[in-house]
A and B are shown apart, each in its own frame.
Chain A
Amino acid sequence: MLAVKVSTVLGSKTAALNVKLAQALSSGSKGSVINNQELKFDADSATYFLDSFPENFDVGKYTFVFEILLDESAQEKLYITEAQTKIPIAATGAISIENAEIAVLDGDVGSVESQKKLDLTKDGAVSLSANHLQKLRLSYQLNTPLGHVFKPHQAFLKLKHESQVEHIFLVKTSGKKSELVLDFLGLVEKLYYLSGKYEIQLTIGDASMENSLLSNIGHIELDLPERPEKAAQPPVQPTDPYSRYGPKAEISHIFRVPEKLPAKQLSLVFLGLIVLPFIAFLIGLTRLGVNIKSFPSSVGAATSALLFHGGIGAVLNIKALSLLGVFLSFVGHSTLSHLASASNKLKSA
């Protein structure tokens, strides 16, 4: 239903008027669909309305031309701003989509290699494969409620590669149906020679279409030749902002492992082995019957002897070497000379 409100420049109600829809010019065709249709006045809502449209009023963009005439019964001085008011109107309706199918065609001959019917109202799971010598054909028919061919403003086929590189193609409508043929031989360079899985997405929309759709048809495996050196690189894709800002993986330093040393027990075993000869020496000495009988008994000699051995022990401790060395030589000389004289006495006696 079409409802029109007429008011004065300041917005208040007007007197009785005669509102007429002079023309409804369609954007596509010439000529008007509606001619000089008078609108009825509804006193309750103070609007002029038209409740029925002619049968050939189809979906699409129109420009409605309204004419306002003063009723003959009007007494006051009233002026109308414009004789004809043009308003763009979009008449919307549900567009029917029929015979939607996608096919892979073979090379020049055009014979169909694989063909699938599509239901564009929902996402599909079509799986196709093609190489660069083949073609992809998508076709469907769009009809208005009155059965005419409909040309939508937006009819895109989008091929999206795994690496997020996208390509968009327009589906052109001619005659009775809409069709798009992608000849991969000519598109190889445009596709940046990227082989792999491409997702197929079809978007059809228009201002006058009430059921605009976006359908993920499925995917196609494309086998394209190798990229030659001079071909263009695919464009850089943006990184996901959420992953860009996340925390980094933790790093903990691996400390240098010290060289593997033998077990402590092993060292102790060898220590024991080393000490063994010393013990054997002591045992051997006692076996041999060594004694320290000729230890000097006189006090002076005994003291020097003790000091002499103490000095040797101290030297073995490697402390205060130089002083000890001097001290030791004196004491040692006295002890040893005493011993020498004692043994001389023995020899002479």
Chain B
Amino acid sequence: MMNLSRSVALISLFLLPLLSFSFSVDNPTDRRVLVLLDDLSLKSSHSIFFSTLKSRGFDLDFKLAEDSKLALQRYGQYLYDGLIIFAPSTERFGGSLDSKSIADFVDSGRDLILSADTSASDLIRGIALECGVDFDEDSSAMVIDHSSFSVSDVDGDHTLIAADDLVKSHAILGKTKIEAPVLFRGVAHSLNPTNNLVLKVLSASPSAYSANPSSKLSSPPQLTGSAISLVSVMQARNNARVVISGSLQLFSDKLFRSGVQKAGSPNKYEKSGNEQFATELSKWVFHERGHLKAGSLVHHRVGETDEPAIYRIKDDLEFSVEILEWSGKSWEPYVADDVQVQFYMMSPYVLKTLSTDKKGLFHTSFKVPDVYGVFQFKVEYEKLGYTTLSLSKQIPVRPYRHNEYERFIPTAYPYYGACFTTMAGFFVFSFVYLYHK
């Protein structure tokens, strides 16, 4: 008995440091990342990508996808904050990993980078389907583009695409524009049109299609044109981020270093946009950028500082909220001009855009509507590439008290006059009647 409790104590002592090295509310960047490979040679063929991650402070743990000791959790605690799956041909993961445990991993708010390649096993397709991404059903199909291929395509079948249709988002791809096209060779996927959470980061050009390059087409391909997504992202409602790529070669050293020239274009670039693209995307997915935090909502009447328990209709009130953005190392004030607040009861009665003092404080003032009831101040902020903010605070609104109305109503002056003249008349009459002689 003693031994058991002692060993449990020892184990939990060892676990404590593990717990402190994960992401937290104050420090949202991921720390420990599990990298699953189906071939350990990927460590060297993709070494630039992994070394940039390590240089930014990530703790990478490389394992074979079929390793039987794989585990994401131990004793109910997650061991990793992020997961990179570079194992496109793995049919079954080892250990306790399967597509359900990976879905639970993302549900817990943790991030994932998933990459398929020229072949994608059913397991990888299943995980992608959970995130709203549909890979091409034909397992021998690749993305072919006869107008947008890279001139350095060795195989000559136009499967090495030079793609430059990137999503316009500073949060996802950084402020510096990616000048050179991104080289891609792999499978196509499309996004479920009813899914609001997925987004195409790198799309194919209108002349692209997904087919087997070595056999003739007998029927029109399912995926063509800009509906083909080459790299997509998903931000779940709990702000977990997932990147799904159709090409593992996109992250390889070979394509990082290669020059690129798009067919038909005179621009020749010494270095492809792959390294910048992969680095910026990894910054976004591991919450180094685009992560917002909001303080509590503050509201009070104009001229006061305390928050009242109840408002009266037609009161003038001031509202403010503080929003900070994580820069990767510290919380910086967030600057934007599209944060809005709603004064809401079943539907918004007032919706105003907040103005910022550029130090992270967003404020506005408005008049309380003349409707009684229990209202909520709601800030629901959704911006492309940023975490969603959903804040609310409840406050009741009462009507006028009986003594808050105007004292004398001008329209009633005749009535007042009638009353008083009657009184005065009676007073005079009482004198006259008694003392008249």
Chains A and B bind each other: yes
Q: Which residues of A contact B (CB under 8 A)?
A: 88-90, 92, 151, 153-154, 156, 158, 166, 168-170, 201, 203, 205-209, 212-214, 235-239, 241-242, 244-253, 255-256, 261-262, 264, 267-268, 270-271, 273-275, 277-278, 281-282, 285, 290-295, 305, 309, 312-313, 316, 335, 339
Tell whether, in the assembled complex, residue A274 and residue B421 are in contact, meaning their CB atoms are under 8 Å apart.
Answer: yes
Determine whether B56 belongs to the interface, using a CB cutoff of 8 Å to chain A: no
Tell whether, in the assembled complex, residue B224 and residue A241 are in contact, meaning their CB atoms are under 8 Å apart.
Answer: no
Q: Which residues of B contact A267 (CB under 8 A)?
A: 410-414
In the complex, per-residue mask of B176-214: 1 if CB is within 8 Å of any chain A CB, else 0: 000000000000000101101001100000110101010
Q: Which residues of B contact A (CB under 8 A)?
A: 144-147, 155-158, 167-168, 191, 193-194, 196, 199-200, 206-207, 209, 211, 213, 216-217, 219-221, 224-225, 227, 314, 338, 340, 342-343, 348-353, 366-367, 369-371, 382-384, 409-414, 416-418, 421, 423-428, 430-432, 434-437
Tell whether, in the assembled complex, residue B351 and residue A248 are in contact, meaning their CB atoms are under 8 Å apart.
Answer: yes
Q: Which residues of B contact A90 (CB under 8 A)?
A: 156-157
Chain B nearest Cβ from A261, distance in angstroms: 5
Given contacts A262-B411, A275-B417, contact A168 B221 (CB under 8 A): yes
With beta carbons under 8 angstroms apart, the residue of B155, B196, B217, B410 that contacts A153 is: B217
Tell whether, in the assembled complex, residue A261 and residue B410 are in contact, meaning their CB atoms are under 8 Å apart.
Answer: yes
Taking A153-B217, A156-B209, A292-B432 as given, write out 11 further A-B residue pairs in contact, using a Cβ cutoff of 8 Å, ordered by the A residue number: A89-B156, A154-B209, A209-B146, A236-B193, A247-B353, A253-B367, A274-B418, A275-B417, A278-B425, A293-B437, A309-B427
Q: Which residues of B contact A278 (CB under 8 A)?
A: 421, 424-425
With beta carbons under 8 angstroms apart, the residue of A252, A274, A282 that contacts B366 is: A252
Given contacts A251-B349, A278-B421, A294-B436, contact A242 B426 (CB under 8 A): no
Q: Which residues of B contact A309 (CB under 8 A)?
A: 427, 430-431
Most buried by A among B147, B342, B416: B147
Tell whether, in the assembled complex, residue A271 and residue B350 are in contact, meaning their CB atoms are under 8 Å apart.
Answer: no
Return the 10 tightest CB-CB contacts between A and B, nearest first: A205-B146, A212-B146, A90-B156, A292-B435, A270-B414, A253-B369, A238-B193, A278-B421, A168-B220, A251-B351
Q: Which residues of A contact B436 (CB under 8 A)?
A: 290-294
Q: Which residues of A contact B382 (CB under 8 A)?
A: 245
Q: Output the nearest chain B residue to A244 by Cβ-Cβ distance.
A: B196
CA distance A250 to B364 in the complex (A): 13
Chain A nearest Cβ from B319, distance in angstroms: 14
Q: Which residues of B contact A292 (CB under 8 A)?
A: 431-432, 434-436
Chain A nearest Cβ from B317, distance in angstroms: 13
With beta carbons under 8 angstroms apart, the residue of A242, A250, A295, A335 that contacts B353 is: A250
Tell whether, in the assembled complex, residue A255 and residue B384 are in contact, meaning their CB atoms are under 8 Å apart.
Answer: no
Chain B nearest Cβ from A113, distance in angstroms: 26
With beta carbons under 8 angstroms apart, the residue of B158, B193, B314, B416 that contacts A237 is: B193
CA distance A9 to B411 in the complex (A): 108
Tell whether, in the assembled complex, residue A242 and residue B384 are in contact, meaning their CB atoms are under 8 Å apart.
Answer: yes
Tell whether, in the assembled complex, residue B158 and residue A207 are in contact, meaning their CB atoms are under 8 Å apart.
Answer: yes
Chain A nearest Cβ from B244, distance in angstroms: 16
Q: Which residues of B contact A170 (CB under 8 A)?
A: 217, 219-220
Tell whether, in the assembled complex, residue A203 and residue B370 are in contact, meaning their CB atoms are under 8 Å apart.
Answer: no
Given contacts A293-B435, A294-B435, contact A205 B213 (CB under 8 A): no
Chain A nearest Cβ from B147, distance in angstroms: 5
Tell whether, in the assembled complex, residue B220 and residue A169 are in contact, meaning their CB atoms are under 8 Å apart.
Answer: yes
Q: Output the nearest chain A residue to B347 by Cβ-Cβ distance.
A: A251
Chain A nearest Cβ from B431, distance in angstroms: 6
Tell whether, in the assembled complex, residue A253 and residue B427 are in contact, meaning their CB atoms are under 8 Å apart.
Answer: no
Chain A nearest Cβ from B73, distance in angstroms: 34
CA distance A158 to B411 in the complex (A): 73
CA distance A50 to B422 in the complex (A): 127
With beta carbons under 8 angstroms apart, the residue of A205, A245, A282 that contacts B384 is: A245
Q: Output the nearest chain B residue to A249 by Cβ-Cβ distance.
A: B351
CA distance A239 to B384 in the complex (A): 14
CA distance A60 to B164 in the complex (A): 28
Q: Output the nearest chain A residue to B366 by Cβ-Cβ distance.
A: A252
Q: Which residues of B contact A89 (CB under 8 A)?
A: 156
Question: What are some 21 contacts across the A-B interface (CB < 8 A)?
Answer: A88-B155, A154-B144, A170-B220, A205-B147, A238-B193, A239-B196, A244-B196, A246-B338, A247-B338, A252-B351, A252-B352, A253-B370, A255-B367, A261-B410, A262-B411, A267-B412, A277-B421, A281-B425, A291-B436, A294-B434, A335-B434
Q: Which residues of A contact B147 (CB under 8 A)?
A: 205, 212-214
Q: Which residues of B contact A169 (CB under 8 A)?
A: 220
With beta carbons under 8 angstroms apart, the residue of A153, A209, A214, A238 that contacts B213 is: A153
Tell whether, in the assembled complex, residue B425 and residue A235 are in contact, meaning their CB atoms are under 8 Å apart.
Answer: no
CA distance A231 to B198 in the complex (A): 30
CA distance A277 to B409 in the complex (A): 23
Tell whether, in the assembled complex, residue B414 and residue A291 are in contact, meaning their CB atoms are under 8 Å apart.
Answer: no
CA distance A313 to B423 in the complex (A): 8
Q: Which residues of A contact B409 (CB under 8 A)?
A: 261
CA distance A90 to B384 in the complex (A): 43
Q: Which residues of B contact A244 (CB under 8 A)?
A: 196
Q: Which residues of A contact B435 (CB under 8 A)?
A: 291-295
Chain A nearest Cβ from B343, distance in angstroms: 8
Tell whether, in the assembled complex, residue B156 and residue A282 are in contact, meaning their CB atoms are under 8 Å apart.
Answer: no
CA distance A264 to B409 in the complex (A): 10
Chain A nearest Cβ from B118, distance in angstroms: 16
Chain A nearest Cβ from B390, distance in angstroms: 14
CA distance A241 to B191 in the complex (A): 12
Tell whether, in the assembled complex, residue A255 and residue B370 are in contact, meaning their CB atoms are under 8 Å apart.
Answer: yes
Q: Which residues of B contact A290 (CB under 8 A)?
A: 432, 436
Q: Which residues of B contact A250 (CB under 8 A)?
A: 340, 351-353
Given contacts A168-B221, A236-B194, A271-B417, contact A153 B427 (CB under 8 A): no
Q: Output the nearest chain A residue to B380 by Cβ-Cβ distance.
A: A248
CA distance A212 to B144 in the complex (A): 12
Tell whether, in the assembled complex, residue B423 and residue A238 are in contact, meaning their CB atoms are under 8 Å apart.
Answer: no
Tell whether, in the assembled complex, residue A252 and residue B350 are in contact, meaning their CB atoms are under 8 Å apart.
Answer: yes
Q: Output the nearest chain B residue to A273 by Cβ-Cβ distance.
A: B414
CA distance A335 to B199 in the complex (A): 98
